[in-house]
A = this chain, B = another copy of it.
Amino acid sequence: MWRQSEILLKDRSRGFHIVTSEIQAALNSMFADGQPSVGLCHLFLHHTSASLAINENADPDVRGDLERHFSVLAPENAPHYRHTLEGPDDMPAHIKSVLIGPELTVPLRKGKLVLGTWQGIYLCEHRDHGGRRTLTITVQGE
C-alpha cells in the first residue's frame, strides 16, 4: 500500500511552526478508503532554506528560543559568507536547513502519526519571506 502526494504548506513568518494537524489532515485525505494499520510516513520539503523537525508542542517559548538560538548558530552577515546576493537571511537559511534537514520519517499506527505526548512536527521557516512551501508526503504500510 503506497501513496504519494504533494501538498503546499501555507505561508509562514520566519520561525519554528507546528504543522502536525496539517500533516495528519493530508494523511486522512490520502487514505479516505481505509488507513494502514502499520506504516511509515515520509515528509520531504522541496526547499533549501527551510527544514522539518520534531520538538515540543506546548510552550511557544520553546519555538521562540529555537529561532533565537539557531540565529546565533547561523548568524546573518558572518564575515566568511560569500553567497550574499539573495539577502542577509539567505545563507543562514541554507546553514540551518543543513543542520536540521529537509526530511523526516514518522511511524504510523492505525492511520495516526505515532508521536510522543510532547512531540509536534515543525516547519522551520528560515527566510524572512519564504512564501508557501511544497512538501511531498510518501506513505506506505499494510
Can you report 5 A-B residue pairs in the complex whose CB atoms are below 8 A from each other? A40-B140, A47-B119, A48-B54, A61-B82, A69-B78
Complex partner residue of A55 from B64, B80, B94, CB under 8 angstroms: B94
Number of copies: 3
Q: Does A20 contact B (CB under 8 A)?
A: no
Do B46 and A68 touch (CB < 8 A)?
Answer: no
- Interface residues in chain A, defined as those with a beta carbon under 8 Å from any beta carbon in chain B: 2-4, 38-40, 42, 44-48, 53-56, 59, 61-62, 64-66, 68-70, 72-74, 78, 80-83, 91, 94-95, 97-107, 109, 114-119, 122, 134, 136, 138, 140-142
Determine whether the beta carbon of B94 is less than 8 Å from that of A56. Answer: yes
Contacts A47-B119, A64-B83 aside, 20 further interface pairs with beta carbons under 8 A come to: A2-B38, A4-B38, A44-B106, A46-B116, A47-B116, A54-B102, A55-B94, A55-B98, A61-B82, A65-B83, A65-B91, A65-B95, A66-B95, A66-B98, A70-B98, A72-B78, A73-B73, A99-B100, A101-B101, A105-B105
Within the complex, which residue of B3, B72, B95, B117 is in contact with A80, where a contact is CB–CB below 8 Å?
B72
